[in-house]
Structure 1
Amino acid sequence: MTTQQAGVNIEIDKVSHHFSLEGSDLPVLENISLQVRPGEFVALLGPSGCGKSTLLRLLAGLEQPASGVLAEEGRAIIAPHPSRVVVFQDPTLYPWRTVYDNVGLGLQIRGESKQAAQTRIDAMLQRVGLKEFARAWPHQLSGGMAQRAALARALVNHPRLLILDEPLGKLDSLTRLRMQQEIVDLWQEQRFTTLMVTHDVEEALVMANRVVVFSARPARVLDIIEVEQAYPRRRDDPQLVALRSRVLALLGAEQAAA
């Protein structure tokens, strides 16, 4: 594992946000503050619809918060940037490009040499189990295969900030476990900063350095849990099991209150 930290520092300072709904404001985020260290892996957990994905969109620069500041390396995030790569819940592959060409899109835009790009694309397709489907079209892929292609498209670009919005939710159980480990392996190799939304408590604890637990909408930070176990993590580790119970108790209490 390389010791070089390619990731960026992220600061979320008193961020609140709302949507306009039928002439009134619907609060989504409430006074969120969080510091993410360079090269850290942070998972975001919370009730469905609480605002986790909205926070990711703000971090990607796709929207601006109603109040507060989001900053990358001390600079306010006001627009998308190539250093920040997003993988959404849906694959969003371009239907007119093959799997290979979808994965290599970012490298092509940056002017990577054909030979260097081919080496990186082939290696990434191998890692996500799509080497044999390099020349396939998106409509020929299952939903899970398309999502693996979307992950490959993001990871092949060596991002400094990787933003994951439930990227593994459509995968079958065995593939999901394998992709969890592949993402962790790549993160350890490249040390990009990672923020991931998931509804799977065990997934968050197996993959992340810290787990941020949000309340129901409007999202507030209920707790930030440090996960100190070494990688690769065992799901039956007593300390992880205890943390899982702690998180589930928080979420259960929040759901009961809502």
Structure 2
Amino acid sequence: MVAAVAAAAQNDRGLRAAIDFHGVSHRYELEGQALPVLHDVNLAVNPGEFVALVGPSGCGKSTLLRLAAGLDQPSRGAVLTEGAPVQKPDPSRVLVFQDPTLFPWRTVRDNVALGPQAQGTLAASSARIDDALKLVKLEGFAGAYPHQLSGGMAQRAALARALVNNPRVLLLDEPLGRLDSLTRLSMQQELLSLWRQAGYAVILVTHDVEEALLLSQRVVVLSERPASIKAVVEVDLPYPRHRDDSRIVKLRQQVLETLGFGG
């Protein structure tokens, strides 16, 4: 069944999509009852594209990221990467969570080195690890431990741990959600800078509509659970963007109205 759906998706959209959700529905079992989470989601994210997902809390945004990462398999439909079914986790698709989840007994550098160590390439990856630390501006904190970092620095370390794998797809599950407002603004710009330098595809889950509009090229608005796509808002504006730009304000109102918060 997955092979047939994959073939159909290839015919429809070709092999270029970094991540392609093709007719994806998903449900969980909760206390013996089926809990539908996603319904017939069709979304192709191209290489190098930045896409944001917004929607009501609990609608299934994080589930889409888990499916893209290969941590779960859809109940129906297929998730493809470059035309091939996503069947398991792979370093080319990295998921960054809201919590940095750093190992407290390892230094920042040793946390960043987890991927190469797990792949048996640690000895050959020293330069890659150093480059990842430089990208997130933590080269001066390589020997620090997680408890010595601020919240923003810990999230940078988590990003470096993802980037050291040279991913083609970066999956971000509210990575800035627990930061204070000033740190969050700074990290938004750093995320944007990293994406523009590296050129990977990004799928960002966020509850902040303004953040989605400032960072992404498309904002995908999801419905209540089981989530389907209500609207796709194109953000065809140059970077850097400013929250008081009248075009951003207008798009923000459009997204909020789609979410049911008009007026």
2:12 corresponds to = none
**Using the alignment, how far apart are the partners of 2:41 and 2:17 within structure 1?**
19
Larger deviation: 141-150 or 186-195?
141-150
Asked if the contact 1:215/1:222 (under 8 Å) is kept, the reply is: yes
1:198 corresponds to = 206
Asked if the contact 1:100/1:121 (under 8 Å) is kept, the reply is: no
CA deviation profile, 1:179-204 (whole Å, cap 9, x unmatched):
11111112111110110100000100
**Using the alignment, how far apart are the partners of 2:96 and 2:61 within structure 1?**
14
**Using the alignment, how far apart are the partners of 1:149 and 1:118 within structure 2?**
11
Pick from 78, 92, 97 the counterpart of residue 101 of structure 2: 92
From the superposition, tell whether residues 111 and 133 of structure 1 become closer, same or farther in structure 2 (CA, over 3 Å): closer
2:229 aligned with 1:218, yes or no?
no
1:9 corresponds to = 18
1:177 corresponds to = 185
**Using the alignment, how far apart are the partners of 2:215 and 2:123 within structure 1?**
31
* Residue 133 (structure 1) shift: 3.3
1:243 corresponds to = 251
Pick from 114, 117, 131 the counterpart of residue 128 of structure 2: 117
Asked if the contact 2:130/2:139 (under 8 Å) is kept, the reply is: no
From the superposition, tell whether residues 122 and 50 of structure 1 become closer, same or farther in structure 2 (CA, over 3 Å): closer
Asked if the contact 1:15/1:32 (under 8 Å) is kept, the reply is: yes
Pick from 156, 163, 171 the counterpart of residue 163 of structure 1: 171
**Using the alignment, how far apart are the partners of 2:126 and 2:75 within structure 1?**
45
Q: Tell me, what secondary structure is at the counterpart of 1:53?
A: helix
Pick from 150, 153, 158 the counterpart of residue 150 of structure 1: 158
- Amino acid corresponding to residue 204 of structure 1 in structure 2: A
CA deviation profile, 1:19-40 (whole Å, cap 9, x unmatched):
1112110110011111111111
Select the structure with the greater relative contact order (CA < 8 A; seq sep ≥ 6). Answer: 1
- Amino acid corresponding to residue 240 of structure 1 in structure 2: I
RMSD of equivalent CA atoms: 1.9
1:3 corresponds to = none
Q: Between Structure 1 and Structure 2, how many residues are aligned?
A: 245
CA deviation profile, 1:99-149 (whole Å, cap 9, x unmatched):
1211232244434636513531441341xxx44432222233344432222
2:61 aligned with 1:45, yes or no?
no
Asked if the contact 1:8/1:192 (under 8 Å) is kept, the reply is: no
* Residue 9 (structure 1) shift: 2.2
From the superposition, tell whether residues 144 and 185 of structure 1 become closer, same or farther in structure 2 (CA, over 3 Å): closer
Asked if the contact 1:8/1:161 (under 8 Å) is kept, the reply is: no
**Using the alignment, how far apart are the partners of 1:66 and 1:18 within structure 2?**
6
* Residue 97 (structure 1) shift: 1.1
- Amino acid corresponding to residue 252 of structure 1 in structure 2: G
Asked if the contact 1:104/1:117 (under 8 Å) is kept, the reply is: no
Asked if the contact 2:18/2:168 (under 8 Å) is kept, the reply is: no
Q: Tell me, what secondary structure is at the counterpart of 2:210?
A: helix
**Using the alignment, how far apart are the partners of 1:34 and 1:188 within structure 2?**
22
**Using the alignment, how far apart are the partners of 1:92 and 1:133 within structure 2?**
17
Q: Tell me, what secondary structure is at the counterpart of 1:219?
A: coil
Asked if the contact 1:99/1:135 (under 8 Å) is kept, the reply is: yes
Pick from 80, 87, 95 the counterpart of residue 89 of structure 2: 80
Percent identity over the alignment is 58
TM-score (ref. length: structure 1): 0.88
1:4 corresponds to = none
Asked if the contact 2:113/2:122 (under 8 Å) is kept, the reply is: no
**Using the alignment, how far apart are the partners of 1:87 and 1:29 within structure 2?**
21
**Using the alignment, how far apart are the partners of 2:210 and 2:161 within structure 1?**
25
* Residue 155 (structure 1) shift: 2.5
Runs of 4+ in 1 over 4 A off after TM superposition: none
Q: Tell me, what secondary structure is at the counterpart of 1:212?
A: strand
